[in-house]
Amino acid sequence: LSYVPGLENIPAAETYISTIDTDVGKIWIRGFSLEDLALQSTYEEVLYLLIHGTLPDFETLSSFRRNIYDEWHVPQEIWDIVNMLPRDIHPMDILRTAISALAGFDRELDDPSHEANIRKAVRLVAKTGFLVGNLENMAKGGIRVFSRDLSHAANILQAIIERPAQNWEARAFETAFILYVEHELAASTFASRVIASTMTDIYGAVCGAISALKGPLHGGANEKALEVFQYDVAGAERFVRERLAARERIMGFGHRVYRRGIDPRAQVMKDILAELCRRHGDDRLYRVAVRVEEIMAAEKGLYPNLDFYVAPVYKLLGIPVKLFTPIFAASRMAGWCAHVIEQQLANRLFRPRAIYRGARGSSYPSRN
């Protein structure tokens, strides 16, 4: 047996959902480029593509959207549970608890059929978006209802910023939201597939994924990536050099799969950051980003991942930093569900082996 730490470059599943094609710098989602989807499609359409395998026609998409919107409702009992949690815990912990509790309200929880799994996936995506949009509002005592005249993503943004969003703001948010939707076997997705492989329910699998996403090496990085953007260019340069000298990580840089260049998703957000800076008439955040990118490439040979460019975009949209990772979860819920469904359609239990480094044959001490 040979051991590869972190399963680097080891295929751990066969999938028809997505792949990262580093040779051409593309992410393919069921055959379509994720960048194209992010710039031209809607989140609802990409959700359909992920869980059904094909793009919907116009009529199908309209009824699918109604289907999502019918599932926004979150029972009062869930808000009551959330209200019982300590006020100062991280919203990712609130979200994990809420999704876990929601399982108890799903009449189809233990129906393992493919059709029921698809219905549960739509339910989970809809309710997670509604919860994330309202996590902060709930603490302030008032939930904002979602509007059927707006997209799922625009509703989440408006609930968070507590004001109507301009079209360009909603589009920037939705682009980032689509870019987060699915990314092959990321740690959280792998976690969801491992859990699903015991043929447990989909809620349990995505709760594990939420826990994995919270970590600073994964989704939690988008919060930390914001740190560097509190400075001007010279300050950011100092900050980065000091961190590197102390052998600390700059969050939003590096990726297990993208070793030779920028994450293609980050490039899309970089262009959006440039546009938002133009609209705000202040290009400080863009100049900081470009300088940090140059330093990291020169000093470490590392390139930005999606989180690095999403952080300043969210900042310009007025999104509170502690909601950065929950928004990631609200989007990725679609990818997790697609993987859980795929895993359970052709399941084999994940049960790898470990290389044992411990002792053998120790004699148990006599107790008398």
- Per-residue interface string for the shown chain with ligand ACO, residues 1-20, x marking contact by CB under 6 A: -----x--------------
Nearer to ligand ACO, 97 or 189 (CB): 189
Helices assigned H by DSSP within the chain: 34-40, 43-52, 58-70, 76-84, 91-103, 114-139, 152-161, 167-179, 187-196, 202-214, 221-224, 233-245, 264-280, 284-300, 306-317, 324-345
Asked if residue 203 lies in contact with residue 195, where contact means CB atoms within 8 angstroms, the answer is no
How far apart are CB 356 and ligand ACO at their closest, in Å?
A: 23
Which letter does DSSP use for residue 345 in this model?
A: H
256 is a site residue for ligand ACO (CB under 6 A):
yes
Catalytic, 282? Answer: no
Three-state DSSP class for residue 336: helix
174 is a site residue for ligand ACO (CB under 6 A):
no
CA 140 to chain centre: 25
Which of 106, 201, 263, 307 does the annotation list as catalytic? 307
How far apart are CB 203 and ligand ACO at their closest, in Å?
A: 22
In sequence order, the 6+-apart residues with CB closer than 8 A to the CB of 5 are: none
Nearer to ligand ACO, 72 or 258 (CB): 258
- Per-residue interface string for the shown chain with ligand ACO, residues 298-317, x marking contact by CB under 6 A: --x-x--xxx----------
Nearest-5° angle of CA 99, CA 181, CA 160? Answer: 60
Which of 255, 271, 280, 283 does the annotation list as catalytic? 255
Catalytic, 307? Answer: yes
Among 99, 102, 160, 221, binds ligand ACO (CB under 6 A): 221
How far apart are CB 266 and ligand ACO at their closest, in Å?
A: 9
In sequence order, the 6+-apart residues with CB closer than 8 A to the CB of 42 are: 151, 153, 174, 178
Measure the CA–CA gap between 43 and 46, rounded to whole angstroms: 5
342 is a site residue for ligand ACO (CB under 6 A):
no
The piece of 18-26, 104-112, 127-135, 252-260 that touches ligand ACO (CB under 6 A) is 252-260
Among 12, 199, 217, 234, binds ligand ACO (CB under 6 A): 217
264 is a site residue for ligand ACO (CB under 6 A):
no
Token output for 211:
């826990």
Among 91, 129, 204, 219, binds ligand ACO (CB under 6 A): 219
Measure the CA–CA gap between 204 and 196, rounded to whole angstroms: 8
The piece of 23-31, 243-251, 336-344, 355-363 that touches ligand ACO (CB under 6 A) is 243-251
How far apart are CB 37 and ligand ACO at their closest, in Å?
A: 16
Among 30, 152, 218, 270, binds ligand ACO (CB under 6 A): 218
Among 50, 210, 251, 316, binds ligand ACO (CB under 6 A): 251
Measure the CA–CA gap between 50 and 68, rounded to whole angstroms: 14
Measure the CA–CA gap between 315 and 318, rounded to whole angstroms: 5
Nearer to ligand ACO, 107 or 247 (CB): 247
In sequence order, the 6+-apart residues with CB closer than 8 A to the CB of 241 are: 295, 299
φ/ψ bin of 152: left (φ > 0), alpha (ψ from -120 to 50), beta (otherwise): alpha
In sequence order, the 6+-apart residues with CB closer than 8 A to the CB of 41 are: 178
Number of residues that bind ligand ACO (CB under 6 A): 18
By beta carbon distance, the residue nearest ligand ACO is 254
What are the residue numbers of the active site? 255, 307
Residues of this chain that interact with ligand ACO (CB under 6 A) are 6, 217-219, 221, 249-256, 300, 302, 305-307
